[in-house]
Amino acid sequence: MPDFVMICKGVTETDQSQMGHKTITSAMYEQSPIALTASFMLKHPNIEELYVSHAISIEPDTFKKSPQLQTVYLVNSNLGNIPVELLKDTNITSFDLTGSSFNVPEGPLLISETLQFLTLGRVKIGCLNQFSFINLPRLWEMNAPFNKFESMPDKLFANNSHLIRVNLNSNNFEYGFPETFKGMTDSVEVTFHDNKFNCNDDRTKEMIQVLKKLKAFVQGSCAIPKNMILEDAAE
What is the per-residue DSSP string for 80-132?
A: EEPPTTTTTTS---EEE-TT-EEEPPSS-S---SS--EEE-TT-S-S---TTT
Mean pLDDT for 43-61 is 94
Residue 213 — φ and ψ, nearest 5°? Answer: -65, -30
Which stretch of 67-76, 129-138, 180-189 has the lowest confidence by average pLDDT?
180-189
What is the extent of the structural domain holding 182?
A: 157-235
Q: Taking the CB of residue 25, how many other CB atoms lie within 10 A of it?
A: 17
Residues 165 and 102 placed together within one structural domain of the fold = no
Q: Which amino acid is at 1?
A: M
The model's pTM is: 0.85
Q: Is 83 part of a structural domain of the chain?
A: yes
Residues 193-227 have pLDDT tens digits of: 999 898 889 999 899 889 888 888 888 754 455 54
**Is the pLDDT confidence value at 11 over 90?**
no
Residues 113-171 have pLDDT tens digits of: 999 999 999 998 889 999 999 999 999 999 999 999 999 999 999 999 999 999 999 99
Residues 126 and 227 placed together within one structural domain of the fold = no
Task: Count the domains in the chain.
Answer: 2
Higher pLDDT, 196 or 88: 88
CA angle (163, 167, 173) in 5-degree steps:
125
Q: Is 152 part of a structural domain of the chain?
A: no
